[in-house]
Structure 1
Amino acid sequence: MLDYKGEKFKEFLNKNRIGATKAAEILGVSRQNVYQYFKSLSLGRETVNSILLKFDVTEDEIFGTTNDATIRNIRQNAREIGDLAIYDDEGNNKFTEISPGRYRMGVDLVPEYAQAGYLTGYADREFIEELPKHYITVDKFVRGKYMGFEISGDSMDNGDIKEAMPHGTIATGREVKRELWNSKLHNHQWPNWIFVHKTEGIIAKQIANQCLESGILTLKSLNPDKKRYPDFEINIDDLVQIYNVVKRELR
């Protein structure tokens, strides 16, 4: 039996690591239309036919009935993950104590495939809601807004140092409030940073130098090949978000 709920289409996209922005491009519709598809309890025949044609799949591949084993796995994963509401009433990420001195937190994750869309969608609530979730365990917590980013490329790869973030690392960062950007961005405890640049997108780097007067940051890679990954400068006015990386996990 086939189930034409939009949730099935959303599951298909997540499984194949296709973001809503890319799906909209493939279907030739707006991203808002894709979000409406996700919410639909019964997609129209024309929409279903378009999805099947544009993604070159059969009805059963997307809308087939979930088997009992899959249902059991989903329920088990839900028990392991816990509360899916990752934000509190003030918009900060929630920490849940799972044992004395151990806390679990969920964050929205920007995987590699969604990074291009994040530059325009970081302030779009619907875009953020469609991102996958990532859960981390920490031994202390600091209130704030956190986000996870999948690191791509080799610029932060250096196996000789503990701060290295090789390709595929999930870096969880705490957002630095904009009113603090003109103060010194300290490197002593967590030296890695995620910068969301207006034109360059998501940049994972360390800070080599910061000039408070000019607002210029000199960024450096961890990869020892300085010919391929030289230090470079950015202006803090060209950024839209700054995250200090507080946790790194290699998938």
Structure 2
Amino acid sequence: MIDYQGEKFKEFLKSKNIGASKAAEILGVSRQTVYQYFKSTSLERETVSNILSKFQTSEEDVFGINRQTVIRPIHQNARDLGDATIYDEEGLNKFVEISPGRYRMGVELVPVYAQAGYLSGYMDQQYLEELPKHYITVDKFVKGNYKAFEISGDSMDNGSIKDALPHGTIVTCREVKRELWTSKFHTHEWPNWIIVHKTEGIVAKQIAKQNLETGTLTLRSLNPDKDRYPDFEIKLDDCVQIFNVVKRELK
């Protein structure tokens, strides 16, 4: 069976300098539908026919395949796209094999200048598409929602090489699903966290305490100046997303 990958369609549009809005107009669909096409790992045949007809092109030009091309799974947690690009089963994470057993993984990066808009845009596919990408090297396929954030300020800088997050550090993080917030966070395994808060914005902290009964977290800065950076408490109900930091790259 041939899989018509949405990522290939996205690359085709990019090569033609056609944006999502223009593509939606050409195809007679909404812009949101076009973004859904981009994320699809197997477009419907009717959709493919519409793309080929409206853009007056061929399967090979758009998808890089012909009818004799068969795309086979190469890993239980991944799907081969017919080239070096691999997606996990959920279609969230993209990997490029750079050597046997080593993969380049790309995630959206939320730099300091974009953090003010993240709270309103984190569910907006267009906003996420426009974010720059950050790449890390991994030795296995990973699942989950990963994002990278740029650290601003010195609240998480204690001069330690072990856990400090100095200004300009890029942290790659994995989201903790909301249904898991009622359990204890694994703070011993993951000391640093990114909290997306309704009023505080994007906050990099350590979790000093978690009260399951009241649904609150006590957050702590690494900076030893507690006059400037005292511990403070937040309610989980006021959090939008919670990420544990899995990798950091110092500036």
TM interval, shorter chain, is 0.5 to 0.7
Q: Whole-Å Cα distance in 1 between the matches of residues 236 and 226 of structure 2?
A: 23
Between the aligned partners of 2:222 and 2:191, the Cα distance in structure 1 is 11
Map 1:69-108; keep pairs closer than 5 Å. 88=88, 90-108=90-108
Q: Give me the whole-angstrom Cα distance separating, in 1, the residues matched to 2:167 and 2:86.
A: 26
Helix, strand or coil for the counterpart of 1:128?
Answer: helix
Give the conservation status (yes or no) of the 8 Å contact 1:209–1:217.
yes
Change in Cα spacing, 1:132 to 1:216, as seen in structure 2 (3 Å) is same
Q: 1:84 and 1:153 mapped to 2: Cα distance?
A: 38
1:147 aligned partner, one-letter code: K
Say if 2:84 and 2:96, in contact at 8 Å, map to a contact too. no
SS in 1 for 2:120: helix
8 Å Cα contact 1:86/1:107 also seen in 2: no
CA distance in 2, matches of 1:116, 1:87: 30
Give the letter for the 1:176 counterpart.
V
User: Paired residue for 1:163?
Assistant: 163
Q: What are structure 1's unaligned runs of at least 5 residues? A: 1-6, 8-33, 41-82
Q: Give, in whole Å, the separation in 2 of the partners of 1:139 and 1:178.
A: 27
For each residue in 1:31-67, what CA deviation from the matched residue of structure 2 results, as whole angstroms up to 9, or x when unmatched?
Answer: xxx9869x99xxxxxxxxxxxxxxxxxxxxxxxxxxx
Residue in 2 that maps onto 1:223: 223
Q: Which residue does the alignment assign to 1:208?
A: 208
Q: Give the corresponding residue for 1:180.
A: 180
* Partner Cα separation in structure 1 for residue 84 and residue 212 of structure 2: 40
Unaligned runs of 5+ in 2: 1-13, 26-82
> 2:200 & 2:86 partners in 1: Cα distance?
29
SS at match of 1:114: helix
User: Structure 1 residues 194, 84: CA separation in 2 closer, same or farther (over 3 Å shift)?
Assistant: farther
Which letter maps to 1:114?
A: A
**Deviation for aligned residue 1:113:** 0.2
Distance 1:151 1:119, change over 3 A: same
> Contact conserved, 2:88 with 2:141, CA < 8 A, in 1?
no
Per the alignment, residue 195 of structure 2 pairs with 195
Partner residue of 1:80? Answer: none
SS at match of 2:147: strand
Distance in 1, matches of 2:187 and 2:141, equals 18
Matched, 1:150 2:115: no
Residues paired across the two proteins, number: 178
Amino acid at match of 1:226: K
**Partner Cα distance (1:213, 1:195) in 2:** 20
- Report the TM-score, using the length of structure 1 for normalisation: 0.64
Deviation at 1:190, TM superposition (A): 1.8
RMSD: 2.7
Partner of 2:238: 238
Amino acid at match of 2:135: Y
Q: Identity over aligned residues, as a percent?
A: 74
Cα gap change, 1:208 to 1:84, in 2 (>3 Å): farther
- CA deviations 1:187-217 (Å, max 9, x no partner) are 1222100000011110000000000111110
Match in the other structure for 1:116: 116
In structure 1, C-alpha distance between the alignment counterparts of 2:89 and 2:135, rounded to whole Å: 19
The CA distance in 2 between the partners of 1:227 and 1:172, in whole Å, is 29
For residue 144 of structure 1, give the secondary structure of its aligned residue in structure 2: coil
Is contact 2:144-2:175 (8 Å) kept? Answer: yes
Give the 3 Å change call, closer, same or farther, for CA 117–35 of structure 1 in structure 2: farther
Cα distance in 2 between the residues matched to 1:169 and 1:84: 29
**3-state SS, counterpart of residue 119 of structure 1:** helix
Cα deviation per residue 1:134-157 (whole Å; 9 max; x = unaligned)? Answer: 001134453111000000011001
**Is the contact between residue 171 and residue 247 of structure 2 (CA under 8 Å) also seen in structure 1?**
yes
